[in-house]
Structure 1
Amino acid sequence: MKAAVLKAFGSPLAVEHRPDPVLGTGEVIVDVVAAPILSYADEVFSGARNYPLPPPVVPGCGAIGRVRAVGPDATKLASGDWVFCDPTVRSRDDALMPDIVLQGWSARGEGGAKLQRYHLDGAFAEQVRVPTENAIPIGPIAETEAARWCAINTLLIPYGGLLAANLQAGETLLVSGATGNFGSATVAVALAMGAACIVTPGRNEAVLADLARRFGSRVRPVMLTGNEEVDRARMMEAAQGPIDCVLDILPPSVRTQVVRAAVMSVRPYGRVILMGGVGMLGGDDLALPYPWIMRNDITVRGKWMYPPEAVRMIVGLVRAGLLRLEEYAVTEFALSRVNEAIVHAAANGGPFRLTVLRPGGAMRDSVRKSP
């Protein structure tokens, strides 16, 4: 098969022939039709993000494809089924505290590194081998739709946070980081889940206006000033009532004061979900007042990724018409243009934009855009 290989950090990916993956018990081989390229992939491949991704490796985090072969213990999947290849691989020998690896992307801790040594190669290839439970059926689609279905790779991240928050239909949510790639996806998913109102603070006036245009009066934009007290007051005023839940998904570069202004707008007995990167680059950590948390009975929870059942549930939201993949503008690249695609993803990583690699199918050395 052909694959794009990262041979060393800081070097372009090399497209070359690699051995086809070998099927084992508890595994599935998938023909990759479309694989998303994350907007910060260039930072990972350059080594700037210092990800635990040992070269040589076929990278790629998630994919849409068709089942080529299944192991002897598969009872439902069959050759030809359309599936989402979930990159979140969990160890099977500790259900309480599983080690986790993002296949083709990163690992966490010593156990994750051990798991990664087996589930290393990702989806920037014509075929990928995944655990059986990670090949999740999405139902019949046309091959031309595969690239847009890659959007669920992004949508699943905030969906995991909203499930952890136990967001209920009719509640008010504040999305801290709403103008970013994952933040805008949070808005779309929360509306699909029935949120009555979503407060969307940010500094990018154009993106805030676009969110309101796309989703209507249930979205309440708030322009941030940089003053923590002023911004908190503006957020609470925009909600026109109690804020039931705050989900923070801001990147590592943001100051902690911005996060705290949003977090402390939540009502008494409210919930806060932390999914962003504050402090990960060595900056100040988030400091929340102990008395405020205790006396107001605030629930603060961290969340990384999403539970295994989330994929089937988000597919249900798409199939029901509640979550529109058509919101995403998609640019597709043939496998031979993978390095061009990585540059494009970095320059076009805003809300509702998707860069996709097409290892399989009819594309040949070309680029294709879908509005």
Structure 2
Amino acid sequence: MKAAILKSLSQPLAIAQMPSPEMGTGEVIVDVVAAPVLSYANEVFNGERRYSMELPIVPGCGAIGRVKASGPDATHLKEGDWVFCDPTVRSRDDALMPDITLQGWSARSEGGLRLQRYFHDGPFAQEMRVPTENAIRIGDVDPREAARWCALNVMLVPYGGLLAAALQAGETLLVSGATGNFGSACVAVALAMGVRCVVAPGRNEKALADLERRFGERVQTVRLTGNEEEDRVRMRQAAPCPIDCVIDLLPPSASTKVVRAAIMAVRPYGRVILMGGVGMLGGDGLDLPYPWIMRNDITIRGKWMYPPQAVTRMTGLIRSGLLDLDHFDVTTFALDDANEAVAHATANGGPFKMTVLQP
């Protein structure tokens, strides 16, 4: 089969032939139809993000495809089924504390690296091998729309945070990082889940105006000034009622002051979910006052990725018409043009924009 292979952090992806994956027990072989190219892929491939991966590797993170073959432990999957290839691979020998790797992308801990050595290659190829539980059925898909279904990859991350927050219909949510790729997707997902209002702070006035245009009065945007206390007051004032929940999706480059301004806008007894990248590349820690957390009974939770059932639930939101994939502007590339796709993703990241490889 043909694949795009990352052989070195100092070289472009190599387009080459390699053996097709062989299926083992508890595994599925998928014909890859569409694979998203994340906007920060170049930062992974050049080593700037310092992701843990062993080279050479077929990279990528998540895909839409069709089942080519499945093993005896698959009682529902059948050949030709459309599936989302969930990149979040969990070890099966400790239900309480599984090790995790993102197939084709990164690993956490030594246990995650051990997983990566086996479920090594990602979706920048014509075929890939995934654990049975990671090939999740999404129903029939028009092949012409397969690339658009890669939006699952973006929306599932904030959806995992919203599920962790036990977000309820009728609540008010503040999305810190709302003008980014994951943040804007979070706005769309939260509205589909029935929130009363989303408070969307940011500095990018064009992106804020776009959110207002897309979603109307249920989104209240706030232009950040950089003054922490002033911004916190303005975020609270923008909400029609006390803010029930804050989710942070800011990137590594963001200041902890911006994160803290948003977090401390939450109401007493409110919830905070941390999913962004602030501090991943060094810098200041997030300084939150102990008395404020304790006296206001604030729940703060970190969340990485999403639970397996999130894919099926999100598919339901899409199939019901509550979540519209047409929000996403999609540009596709052939596998031979993988390096051009990475460059395009870098230059064209941001809200509701996707770059997709179609092997």
TM-score of the pair, normalised by structure 2: 0.99
Aligned counterpart, 1:366:
none
How far did 1:277 drift?
Answer: 1.4
In structure 1, the partner of 2:302 is 302
1:132 counterpart residue number: 132
Deviations 1:71-90 (A, max 9, x none): 11110000000000000000
Bigger Cα displacement from structure 2, 42-51 vs 199-208:
42-51
CA distance, structure 2, for counterparts of residue 105 and residue 278 of structure 1: 19
Match of 2:113 in 1: 113
Matching residue's letter, 1:180: G
For structure 1, which segment, 272-281 or 325-334, has the greater mean C-alpha deviation from structure 2 after superposition?
A: 272-281
Q: Report the secondary structure of 2:89's partner residue.
A: strand
Letter in 2 for 1:188: A
Shift of 1:312: 0.4
State the AA in 2 paired with 1:298. Answer: I
**2:79 is paired with a residue of what secondary structure?**
coil
Question: 2:171 maps to which residue?
Answer: 171
3-state SS, counterpart of residue 279 of structure 2: coil
Match of 2:55 in 1: 55
CA distance in structure 2 between the partners assigned to 1:47 and 1:257 by the alignment: 27
Unaligned ranges ≥5, structure 2: none
Corresponding position of 2:220: 220
**Structure 2 counterparts to residues 120-269 of structure 1, below 5 A:** 120-269=120-269
Per the alignment, residue 368 of structure 1 pairs with: none
Provide structure 1 residue ranges, at least 5 long, that are not aligned to the other structure: 360-371
1:85 and 2:76 matched: no
Q: How far has the Cα of 1:47 moved from its partner?
A: 1.2
Partner amino acid, structure 2, of 1:113? L
Deviation, structure 1 residue 282: 1.2
Q: Any idea what SS the aligned residue of 1:117 has?
A: helix
Q: Does 1:339 align with 2:305?
A: no
SS in structure 2 at match of 1:229: helix
Which whole-Å CA distance do the structure 2 matches of 1:240 and 1:95 have between them?
41
> What is the 5 A alignment of 1:247-326?
247-326=247-326
Shift of 1:10: 1.7
Q: 2-side partners of 1:48 and 1:277: how far apart?
A: 13
Structure 1: distance between partners of 2:136 and 2:278:
32
- Give the structure 2 partner of residue 356 of structure 1: 356
Residues in 1 aligned to 2:87 and 2:123: alpha-carbon distance in whole angstroms: 9
Tell me how many residue pairs correspond in the alignment: 359
Across the aligned residues of Structure 1 and Structure 2, the Cα RMSD in angstroms comes to 0.5
Report how far residue 353 of structure 1 moved. Answer: 0.2
* Structure 2 residue 46 is the aligned partner of structure 1 residue 46: yes
- Find the residue that maps to 1:237 and give its secondary structure: helix
Per-residue CA shift, 1:191-227, capped at 9, x if unaligned? 0000100000000111001001001100000000000
SS in 2 for 1:15: strand
Report if the CA contact (8 A) 2:49-2:281 is conserved. no
Deviations 1:112-139 (A, max 9, x none): 0111110010000000000000000000
CA distance in 1, matches of 2:30, 2:240: 49
AA matched with 2:294: M
Q: Percent identity?
A: 73
Deviation (angstroms), 1:240: 2.4
Contact 2:53-2:113 at 8 Å conserved across structures: no
Q: TM-score, normalised by structure 1?
A: 0.96
Q: Which residue of 2 aligns with 1:96?
A: 96
**Secondary structure, in 3 states, of the residue corresponding to 1:250?**
coil
Contact 2:31–2:128 (CA under 8 A) maintained in structure 1: yes
Q: Secondary structure at the match of 1:150?
A: helix
